[in-house]
Amino acid sequence: MNISLISLAACAALAGNAAAGTVLYTQDFETPESGYTTTNQYIVTPHYAHFIYTDSSTLAGSGYTNTTGSFISSMNTDWFLGHATLGTPTLTTDSFDITGETNLQFAIDLATRSASPLWIATSQVTFEYRVDGGAWIDIFAADSDGVNFGTPTVNGVAITNAFTTFTADISGLNGTNMDIRIVWANLSTIESLGIDNMTVSVIPLPPAALAGLGMLAGLGAYRRLRR
């Protein structure tokens, strides 16, 4: 077997059934409740507490930058209305096929509505997946690392009011269907989080696996682009 065939075999083993970079699920939030469902969606007039599908032209969607079109915006989701909370908001994708894939990449654009969001220590938004209806497993969380009035981060990387892409690899999978869930577990005071452009794709190949393929430029063209 020559070097090109060896490299192709290695790539096939790494990528599973689909080619590296193949998108298995995508959500740009341009159509409400299409490809996903939400629970406890609400808005308290005019915009002081909300969990809604919106865009930057509305009061609830104002303050975010580096985005076009629609997205999900949340703020003050622990707000008290009388003597009752409004309930924990969640967003869950429709199930999508991952048959034969063992290593995937999750990517999502995140931003805060304010340049100084000042999350409290208990605030957290979790990103989770499950396979074939099993237990939910953490991908990562947005939180203030236990610090009161801190900047929200994902694995130490700050979330600002400019939508920025955050990624995580999901490996060791064995199943046929996957769901993604986002839980706005505890946001109060002026804390906010917006999400946009969620994708799950076959994990990109490491540079070493691409060596000798003779098609590096074609595969290397796969990258995440802002709309």
User: Which has the closest alpha carbon to 165: 38, 43, 20, 28?
Assistant: 28
Predicted TM-score (pTM) of this structure: 0.83
Which mean pLDDT values do the consecutive 10-residue runs of the chain (227 residues) have? 38 65 96 95 84 94 94 85 69 98 97 86 93 98 87 94 97 97 81 95 68 37 39
Residues linked to residue 109 through DSSP beta bridges, in sequence order: 165, 196
Structure-token match 């409290």, residue found: 120
pLDDT computed for residue 73 by the predictor: 95
H or E segment and range at residue 87: none
Instruction: Give all domains of the chain, ordered by start, each with its CATH number.
Output: 22-203 (2.60.120.200)
Structure-token match 């003050």, residue found: 76
pLDDT computed for residue 81 by the predictor: 55
Residues linked to residue 53 through DSSP beta bridges, in sequence order: 72
Question: Distance between CA 90 and CA 153 in Å, rounded?
Answer: 19
